[in-house]
Amino acid sequence: MAIESKETLAPPAPFKFEPQHFSPAAYHLESSIIRDILKFSNQPGVISFAGGLPGPDLFPVEELREAADRVLTHYGRKALQYGLSMGYPPLREFIAERVAMRGGVQLTADNILVTSGSQQALDVVGRAFLEPGQYVLCCRPTYLGALQAFSFYGARYTAVNMDDNGMMVETIDPLIREHRPRLFYVVPNFQNPSGITMSEKRRQLLVQKAQQYGIPIVDDNPYGELRYSGTDVPSIKSIGGQAVIQLGTFSKIVSPGLRIGWIAASRQTMGVFERVKQCTDLHTNEFAQYVIYEFVQNGALDRHIERLKVAYHARRDAMLRAMSEFFPETVTWTKPEGGLFLWVRLPEGADAAELFKAAIEEKVAYVPGKPFHTDGSGSNTLRLNFSNASLENIHEGIKRLGRVFASLA
C-alpha cells in the first residue's frame, strides 16, 4: 500500500510593511519640524521658544473644573453620548454670535461647523477643495500646519512676499493668471510665523481679487482676539462675506487640550464640509463642547482673554527688550501687536537650522524659518514664541541666543 508523502511547508516569513503598502501621500508625508524640535526642547534646562504654545500657567483650570462639574451634574448622559457632526447647537450659536459681533457679519449656528481644533478645519477645507496639482496662493512665509494639511491632498503653492502690512496683494494678478489657484490662504492677524498683521487696505484688495477671479479666501484666525497694542482691523470675513471661509479655535483663548475649533462659512458650503468631516470623525468631542459652552457663560471668556492679554503683553515686551539688549545689530525682527510670535531675520548667508545646534548647546530652542517657506527660501529666518515662558526665562533665553548670534555681528 502506497504511503502518501506529506510535503513540509516552510513557515511563512513575518509580515513586514513595505513602502508600497502605503499611499504615496501618506508615506512621503514629512514629520512636523516643530514636533521634532520639541523633543530637544523637553531636555532638562532648555528654555524653549519653539512651540506655538499658550502659557499653561494661565489655563483656567478651576473655572474649567467647575464647568465640567456642572456639565456632568446637569447633562452628564447627553454630554457623554454621540453628538451631531456639525457640533453642539448651543456652542455653535455662541460662536456665530461672537464672530458676528466682532466681525459685523450676519451668522447663525447654521454657518458654523465645530472641528477638532483648527488643524482639522484646515484638513476639511483641503479635502473639500483641493485635488493633486492644484495651487494655493499663500504668504511667504506661511503657517506650517496649513502646508501639511493641504500638501496631503497634492497641493502646490504660489507664495507672495510680505512687508510690514502683510501679503503684498497688489502683486498677485500675474500669479493668479499663471497658476489659477483654488484658494487664497492667509493668517491676517498676528500671523504665524511672522507676527505681522495685514492692513485693512490689503484685506479689501484681497477680497476684490477673490470676487474678480472667483477664488475663495481661507481666513485662518486663531489669534485675532489677542491684541496688546495698536488698533483692531476689520476681519476679512466682515469685508468679504460669503467669499471668505474663516477658521477659529478655542485653543489659544481657552485651552488647546480641549481641541475645539470651528469653520465659519456660507450655508451652501456647510453641507459639503459636514460630509467631508464625517470621513474623519462622526462628531467632535461632545463633552469638551459642553464644557466650553458652560465655561463661556456670563462673560467668563472675555474676562479670561483680558487676563491673557495682560500676561502676553508683558512677555512680548520682555522679549523685545531683551532682543534689543543682546542681539547683534545685524539681526532684525518684527514687532507684533498681538498673537504669540516674533519673526527674526539673520544676515544673508546665515543658516538658522545650522545655528540651532549651537542654540541647543546653549540650552535654548527656536524654530528655523525655512519650513514656513514653500520655495526653499528663508534659511536665514527663525520663529520665536513668547507666550510659553516666564519673564525670567525670556530674558535668560534671549541672552543665550545672543551668544549664539554673536558670530553674525
Cα angle 169, 172, 173; round to 5: 125
pLDDT band of 44, cuts 50, 70, 90: confident
Number of domains in the chain: 2
Is 10 contained in some domain? no
Residue type, 33: I
Same domain, 257 and 222: yes
Output the nine-digit C-alpha cell for 115. 472641528
Extract the C-alpha cell encoding 9.
511547508
Give yes or no: residues 266 and 142 share one domain: yes
User: pLDDT band at residue 4, thresholds of 50, 70 and 90?
Assistant: low
Which among 207, 171, 183 is positioned nearest to 134, based on CA atoms?
183
Domain span at residue 256? 79-298
278 and 309 belong to one structural domain: no
Which amino acid makes up residue 131? E
Q: Which of 298, 315, 347 lies at the terminal end of a domain, its last residue?
A: 298
Q: Which of 298, 325, 356 is the last residue of a domain?
A: 298
pLDDT digits (tens, 9 = 90+) for 91-150: 999 999 999 988 778 899 999 999 999 999 999 999 999 999 999 999 999 999 999 999
Residue 122, judged by CB atoms within 10 A of its CB (0-12, 13-18, 19+), counts as: buried
Do residues 294 and 308 both lie within one domain? no
Q: Locate 72 and state its grid cell.
A: 456632568
CATH number of the domain enclosing 160: 3.40.640.10
Residue carrying the nine cell digits 495651487: 135
Q: What is the pTM of this model?
A: 0.93
In a domain, 71, yes or no: no
One domain for residues 165 and 115: yes
pLDDT above 80: residue 282: yes
The contacts of residue 17 (CB under 8 Å, 6+ apart) are none
Q: Helix H segments across 32-135?
A: 33-41, 61-79, 89-103, 117-129
Has residue 8 been placed in a domain?
no
Is residue 66 assigned to a domain? no
Look up cell 468631516; give the residue: 277
3 domain residue, yes or no:
no
Query: Is 69 a residue whose pLDDT tops 60?
Result: yes
Q: For the residues 303-312, what does the mean pLDDT come to?
A: 98
The rounded distance, in Å, linking the Cα atoms of 220 and 149 is 13
